[in-house]
Amino acid sequence: MNCKQGEIYFVNLEPALGTETKKKRPCLVVSNNHYNRLMNTVIVIPISSSEKYLEEKKYVKSPLYFQVNNKNGHVTARSNRRHGS
C-alpha cells in the first residue's frame, strides 16, 4: 500500500493503551511521502467530528488536539498516535 501525506484512511487502532483512540477510525497521514516509502511505516492521527473537541475546555486548550476546517465542516485531530502499515 502506498500511503501519501494528507490522505485519509480508515485504520484499526487496536490494540490501544489507556485512553488512546480505539476501534476503526478515520486517520490523516501526517508523515511525508519520503518517510513513508523509506521506513515502510506511516504516521497517522485519528480524526473526529465530535462536538466535544470544540466545546470541552480540556480539548480546546490541549496542544495535542487541533481543528481542521474545510468547506464541508470541521474535524478534530489528535496528534500522538503511530500505526505501521
Q: Hunting for cell 481543528 — which residue is that? A: 67
Q: What angle do CA 78, 67, 51 make, to 5 degrees?
A: 90
Query: pLDDT at position 66, please?
Result: 74
Residue 26 falls within a domain, yes or no? Answer: yes
Instruction: Name the domain count of the chain.
Output: 1
Per-run averaged pLDDT (10 residues), the chain, 85 residues: 89 80 84 91 86 85 77 60 43
What is the Cβ-side half-sphere exposure of residue 15, based on CA atoms within 13 angstroms?
2
Please indicate, yes or no, if residue 3 is contained in any of the structural domains: no
Domain that holds residue 79: 8-84
- Flag whether the pTM goes above 0.75: no
Q: Does residue 19 sit within a domain?
A: yes
CA distance 80 to 77: 9
Three-state DSSP state, 38? helix
> In this structure, is residue 76 part of a structural domain?
yes
